[in-house]
Chain A
Amino acid sequence: MSDASYIFKGARVIDPARGVDAVMDIGVAGGCIVDPGEIANPEVVDLSGKILSPGFIDLHVHLRQPGNNMAETIASGTAAAAAGGFTSIVAMPNTNPPADNAGAIEFLRQTAAQKGVVRVLPCGCMTKNYEGKEMAGIGSLKAAGVVALSDDGRCIQDHSLMRHVVEYAKSFNLPILDHCEEQTLAAGGVMHEGKWSVLLGMNGISGAAEELMVARNIILARQIGWKIHMQHVSVKESVELLRNARAKGIPVTGEATPHHITLTDECIKSYDTNYKMNPPLRSEEDRLALIEGIADGTITVIATDHAPHTRTAKLVEFDYAPFGIIGLETALSLCYTELVAKGVINLAAFVKLLTTGPAEVLGIENYSLAEGRPADIVIFDPARKYVIDADKFKSNSRNTPFNGREVVCKVCATLVGGKVVYREA
């Protein structure tokens, strides 16, 4: 909560949940959105030319704490989130030890309360030690405050177990966020299986590995009638499966990452390990299919899969480098540049992908700037051109191939509960 009060004037306010897209004044007091007319002694901020929207939600963040504080901590990761315009982030449970029990969730909540600058929404494992063998204590996880379940980084291969997890999760009203990957078709792979893996002599991860598990999840979601969200969708066929399933009313959703809509497997010919992530960068055809999926509403969420790794960990042979790319501080610029600046979607549709889209997956209702709501706000400048400089990142890690890339659209300020948690220098 913050005692500061503001009136933001002149910004174009985009509030998708209420269908608002207009220049208007927004008042903030007592940590909440209020009627600007009712604030005594506010700081008035002129935001002409800027966009103001509900703070972004990232469904897919690896904070690495506990286990790998060198790569990221709850403090550094949430600072990075704030710099990227995110006011709520879902913390993936594959920490070390993993968040498969109530104690781990309690640690996360307490540390986030002390050190975090944005809202950290805990996610629990579906299975113990996310090994895909035995169901985790899902009820206890719910009681400890998780908002979703995921074995991210791995995928439950046993379909029967997955079915039980989904059924059980439904009874606790917890959405499933699934990393869709059939293991045998991905085994030993370090990049997308396709022209470039063949030319470079690298082991490929077949697109079919993802497609199979997306299909599996669609079947289970239909049969059980419960929400399964497909994390980091990367291949064309997954988009098609999702499109058909959603048309039939099956409760499935999908997210795309900034890197999968901007880069392709060809980048790997440089052997830069910053291009190594899982799912891997796919073909140009897949990239275009993701963008099409975003344009037609098949994909409703942009999530970063922010996966920090130290420079040391990445400065090895490509085969031995860990999978992962950071994304919190580049997501807005990269996606805006790729989607809005290139005319694929309009600004209002774009803001949805970062706000109401993820909110719906988590079952958060009325995620908006309505009066009385917490003042979680992002202000950004869509006209700002700049060059990404990883040295300025708040994240502990620098594993991004986007350093030096020219992009457009920049976060100006981020408020969580009415408190300014990031302001551009």
Chain B
Amino acid sequence: MEWTRKDLLSLYDLSAEEITFLLDTAGEFKKVSERKVKKVPALRGKTVVNFFVEPSTRTRVSFELAEQRLSADIVNMQAQVSSLRKGETLLDTVRNIEALQVDLVVMRHSTPGAQDFIARHLKCGVVNAGDGAHSHPTQALLDIFTIREKRGRIAGLNVTILGDILHSRVARSNMWGLLKLGANVTLAGPSTLVPREFESVGVKVCHNLKEAVRDADVVNLLRIQHERQASGFFPSTSEYARFFGINRETMKLMKPDALIMHPGPINRDVELTSEVADGPNSVILEQVTNGLAVRMAVLFLVAGCVKK
């Protein structure tokens, strides 16, 4: 197959073949990052705008480095939703950006579907760097890339995503990607944060930690936001840690070679203890490394399909 999309909005939109194509391309970019000269001229003369309408450090830095290694010109724009809503509309803002002859907009936004909305109105490419609780395709791709690298396959693996699924774009993106590639997906966590409605798309929903991790080949932990406690989803982070945190004892229930993943930033002693985070099963830092390769692959492919 050949890559033909100018936007990457959600893994829900992609076929298994397209996801595999992205992962394979990322594999070649990972090798570029291992060379002495870590830069390629592929996006030379192209301009990429990193437009973050929600604060982000890790994802933005990862995208920025990926763009630099592809030789793109980069503009960083940050905006607060509050000021954006008072002044010009989001669409006017991105149209102004596009008028500067930009090729790609990498965008993060706090509301679901914001990137789908602007992509419909722009000629330049749009890469979703996270939209509310909806989608974060590059994070899911790097998670899946890491699993595939470690296990050699995705099909047939038992992958448990554990934590605040309800508010997680990482969970939603991983779920679609993993399902398309044939994994068995379990979504686990407190019942208030893991709605049963997910079962309708063929994933297992589980509100018991032991049951959720017992057969898992991979356990992907999601960050618990303290504000969810204030909204009454669970009583306290310490109670969360007691019933849903991964520690030495829970590791004993798991397959000895199960992978421990986390999109970061981690809350030590909430989602997982330091022993687990820094232990032999953890691939958390490799995820970060792979994120760079995945984002280079995405930017390269998407930019290649933008018609100017």
A and B touch in the complex (CB under 8 A): yes
For residue A111, give the distance in angstroms from its CB to the closest CB of chain B: 31
Flag if B169 contacts A317 (CB, 8 Å): no
- Partner among A195, A198, A312, A317 whose Cβ is within 8 Å of the Cβ of B114: A317
Q: Is B90 engaged at the interface, CB distance under 8 Å to the other chain?
A: yes
Q: Across the interface, which residues of B come within 8 angstroms of A270, CB to CB?
A: 116
Complex Cα distance A102/B112, Å? 43
Q: Is B134 engaged at the interface, CB distance under 8 Å to the other chain?
A: yes
Return the CB mask of B155-175 against A: 1 if under 8 Å, else 0. Answer: 000000000001111001000
Q: Is B91 engaged at the interface, CB distance under 8 Å to the other chain?
A: yes
- Partner among A198, A312, A315, A320 whose Cβ is within 8 Å of the Cβ of B111: A320
Q: Is A199 engaged at the interface, CB distance under 8 Å to the other chain?
A: yes
Complex Cα distance A319/B109, Å? 11
Complex Cα distance A319/B117, Å? 11
Q: Across the interface, which residues of B come within 8 angstroms of A318, CB to CB?
A: 111-114, 117
Which residues in window 269-295 of B have CB below 8 A to A? none
Flag if B117 contacts A312 (CB, 8 Å): no
- Partner among A201, A316, A319, A320 whose Cβ is within 8 Å of the Cβ of B172: A201
- Partner among B90, B168, B201 whose Cβ is within 8 Å of the Cβ of A317: B90
Flag if A316 contacts B197 (CB, 8 Å): no
For residue B158, give the distance in angstroms from its CB to the closest CB of chain A: 22
Instruction: Name which residue of chain B comes closest to A191, CB basis.
Output: B112
Q: Across the interface, which residues of A come within 8 angstroms of B304, CB to CB?
A: none
Q: Across the interface, which residues of A come within 8 angstroms of B201, CB to CB?
A: 199
Chain B interface category by residue count: 20 to 34
Q: Is A202 engaged at the interface, CB distance under 8 Å to the other chain?
A: yes
Tell me if A's interface is mostly helix, strand, loop or mixed. helix
Q: Is B132 engaged at the interface, CB distance under 8 Å to the other chain?
A: yes
Q: Is A194 engaged at the interface, CB distance under 8 Å to the other chain?
A: yes
* Given A200-B134, A201-B133, A316-B91, also A271-B197 (CB < 8 A): no
Flag if B135 contacts A312 (CB, 8 Å): no
Instruction: Name which residue of chain B comes closest to A270, CB basis.
Output: B116
Complex Cα distance A270/B119, Å? 12
Which residues in window 81-129 of B have CB below 8 A to A? 85, 89-91, 109, 111-114, 116-117
Complex Cα distance A195/B135, Å? 16
For residue B84, give the distance in angstroms from its CB to the closest CB of chain A: 9
Flag if A198 contacts B117 (CB, 8 Å): no
Q: Across the interface, which residues of A come within 8 angstroms of B113, CB to CB?
A: 200, 202, 271, 317-318
B169, B197, B201 — most chain A CB neighbours (10 Å): B197
Q: Across the interface, which residues of B come within 8 angstroms of A316, CB to CB?
A: 89-91, 117
Taking Cβ atoms with an 8 Å cutoff, the residues of A that contact B are 194-195, 198-202, 270-271, 312, 315-320
Taking Cβ atoms with an 8 Å cutoff, the residues of B that contact A are 85, 89-91, 109, 111-114, 116-117, 131-135, 166-169, 172, 195, 197-198, 200-201
By Cβ-Cβ distance, the 10 closest A-B pairs, closest first, are A201-B133, A271-B113, A201-B134, A319-B111, A198-B197, A195-B197, A317-B111, A317-B114, A201-B112, A318-B113
A to B CB contacts below 8 Å, 7 in the list:
A198-B166, A200-B113, A271-B116, A317-B90, A317-B113, A318-B113, A319-B112
Q: A317-B90, A317-B113 are in contact. List 4 more A-B contacts (CB 8 A).
A: A198-B198, A200-B113, A201-B169, A320-B85
